[in-house]
C-alpha cells in the first residue's frame, strides 16, 4: 500500500467521521422551541401559498395532513435549480449553478470511479466501464469545466463587487482559491496524464484491494493530496451545508409538530425545563442551581 493510498484512506475516513460528528452534533442538540417559517413544505394542500393547520378552526381536533413528498420536492427543486438564489439574487444564479453542477458531476464521478474500482477489484465486469474510459473522460471533463468556470465567476464576483467583497469572510476567499487550485491541478492531471480516468480507476481499484499502484504523475499526486485536504476540511466549514441543510430546513424551518398527546414533546420538554440556568441579569439571577422552570415561575420584577 502506497503513501498516497494511506492519505486517501485517512482523508476519506476524516470526511466521513467529520460529517458524522457534525450530523450527530446537530441531531442530538436539545429540542428547541418552535421557530418554523412558512411556507412549510409538508403542509398538504396549503404549502403552495404558505398556509398551515392553524388556518383551521379547532385545529387540534382535526387530522394533520403532512406530505413528506412535498419536502422532497422542495429540496430537490432547490438542489437542482438553486431556486432561492434564482429568485432573490439572480446575478449570482448562473455562476452558482455552474459551480454546483460542476461539483455534482465531479462528486458523482468520484463515486462512479470508486464503484468502477470495486468492480475491477472483484471482477464484476458489467460495472468495469465505470473505472475509466471515454464516458468517464467526457463526464469528468464536463464536471471540471463547469466547476472551474463557476468557481472563477464566483471568485471574480466576490473580488470585483465591492459589497460582496466587504461582506465576505476570509474563509469565503480561502474556499474559492482552494477550489481553483484543486481544479487547476485536476486539469493538469486530466490533460497530461489521465484523460480517460483509467489511472484514477486503477488507483481506486488498488485502494479497494489494498495494492500499491504507482500514481505515475505528479499532477495526479497533487490532485489526490489537495482533494484529501478538502475532504478533511469540508465538514468543519460552511461547505457542510451540503448536508446540514437537512437540519436548517427540516429541523427548524419546517418543524411545526404541535405539543399534542402522543408526540413525545412534553416528555422531552419536562427534562429540558429542569436544566439549571446561570444567566446573571437581575430579573433572572441564575445561580447554576435554579432550573429553567424555577426561573420561569418567578414573578419577573
User: Residues 250 to 289: which contact other proteins by CB under 8 A?
Assistant: 251-253, 256, 258-259, 261, 265-266, 269-270, 272-273, 275-284, 286
126 contacts other proteins (rule: CB under 8 A): no
- Cα separations (Å) of 273 from 21, 123, 269, 294? 26, 58, 6, 9
x-or-dash string of contact with other proteins, 142-171, rule CB under 8 A? -------------------xxxx-xxxxxx
Phi first, then psi: what are they for 66, rounded to 5°?
A: -115, 140
| Of 45-53, 180-188, 196-204, 222-230: span binding other proteins (CB under 8 A) | 45-53
- Nearest approach in angstroms of CB 240 to other proteins is 7
* Closest of 56, 107, 94, 73 to residue 249, by C-alpha: 73
CA distance 165 to 17: 33
CA distance 171 to 267: 41
Count interface residues toward other proteins (CB under 8 A): 91
Q: What is the DSSP letter of 297?
A: T
Instruction: Return the C-alpha cell found at 62.
Output: 382535526
Contact 228, 7 (CB under 8 A): yes
- Nearest approach in angstroms of CB 72 to other proteins is 16
Contact 198, 132 (CB under 8 A): yes
What distance lies between CA 285 and its chain's CA centroid?
Answer: 40
**Binding test (CB under 8 A) with other proteins, winner from 40, 113, 207, 226:** 40
**Binding test (CB under 8 A) with other proteins, winner from 30, 63, 160, 262:** 30
* Closest of 26, 34, 7 to residue 240, by C-alpha: 26
| Of 7-15, 31-39, 178-186, 207-215: span binding other proteins (CB under 8 A) | 31-39
Residues 6+ apart with CB under 8 A from 126: 119
- Nearest approach in angstroms of CB 10 to other proteins is 19
HSE, side-chain direction, 13 A CA sphere, residue 134: 0
- Nearest approach in angstroms of CB 73 to other proteins is 16
**Binding test (CB under 8 A) with other proteins, winner from 24, 37, 156, 159:** 37
Residues 6+ apart with CB under 8 A from 101: 146, 150
- Nearest approach in angstroms of CB 30 to other proteins is 4
CA distance 165 to 5: 39
x-or-dash string of contact with other proteins, 81-120, rule CB under 8 A? -xxxx-xxx-xx---x------------------------
Q: In the complex with other proteins, which residue's Cβ is closer, 108 or 275?
A: 275
User: Residues 202 to 261: which contact other proteins by CB under 8 A?
Assistant: 237-238, 240-241, 244-245, 247-249, 251-253, 256, 258-259, 261
**Binding test (CB under 8 A) with other proteins, winner from 3, 17, 36, 135:** 36
- Nearest approach in angstroms of CB 206 to other proteins is 33
- Nearest approach in angstroms of CB 171 to other proteins is 4
Amino acid at each position: 500500500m502506497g503513501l498516497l493510498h494511506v492519505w486517501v484512506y485517512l482523508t476519506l475516513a476524516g470526511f466521513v467521521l467529520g460529517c458524522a460528528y457534525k450530523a450527530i452534533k446537530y441531531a442530538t442538540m436539545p429540542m428547541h422551541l418552535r421557530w418554523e417559517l412558512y411556507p412549510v413544505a409538508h403542509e398538504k394542500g396549503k404549502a403552495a401559498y404558505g398556509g398551515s393547520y392553524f388556518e383551521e378552526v379547532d385545529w387540534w381536533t382535526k387530522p394533520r395532513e403532512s406530505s413528506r413528498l412535498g419536502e422532497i420536492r422542495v429540496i430537490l427543486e432547490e438542489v437542482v435549480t438553486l431556486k432561492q438564489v434564482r429568485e432573490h439574487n439572480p446575478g449570482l444564479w448562473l455562476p452558482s449553478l455552474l459551480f454546483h453542477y460542476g461539483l455534482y458531476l465531479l462528486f458523482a464521478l468520484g463515486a462512479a470511479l470508486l464503484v468502477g474500482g470495486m468492480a475491477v477489484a472483484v471482477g464484476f465486469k458489467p460495472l468495469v466501464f465505470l473505472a475509466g474510459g471515454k464516458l468517464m473522460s467526457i463526464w469528468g471533463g464536463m464536471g471540471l469545466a463547469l466547476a472551474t468556470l463557476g468557481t472563477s465567476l464566483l471568485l471574480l464576483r466576490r473580488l470585483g463587487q465591492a459589497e460582496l467583497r466587504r461582506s465576505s469572510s476570509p474563509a469565503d476567499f480561502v474556499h474559492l482559491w482552494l477550489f481553483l487550485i484543486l481544479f487547476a491541478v485536476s486539469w493538469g492531471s486530466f490533460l497530461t496524464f489521465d484523460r480517460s480516468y483509467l489511472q484514477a480507476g486503477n488507483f481506486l481499484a488498488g485502494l479497494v484491494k489494498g495494492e500499491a499502484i504507482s500514481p505515475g504523475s505528479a499532477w495526479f499526486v497533487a490532485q489526490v493530496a489537495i482533494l484529501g485536504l478538502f475532504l478533511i476540511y469540508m465538514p468543519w466549514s460552511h461547505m457542510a451545508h451540503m448536508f446540514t441543510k437537512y437540519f436548517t430546513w427540516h429541523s427548524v424551518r419546517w418543524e411545526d409538530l404541535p405539543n399534542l398527546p402522543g408526540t413525545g414533546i412534553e416528555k422531552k420538554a419536562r427534562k429540558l425545563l429542569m436544566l439549571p440556568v446561570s444567566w446573571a441579569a437581575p430579573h433572572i439571577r441564575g445561580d447554576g442551581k435554579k432550573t429553567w422552570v424555577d426561573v420561569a415561575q418567578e414573578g419577573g420584577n
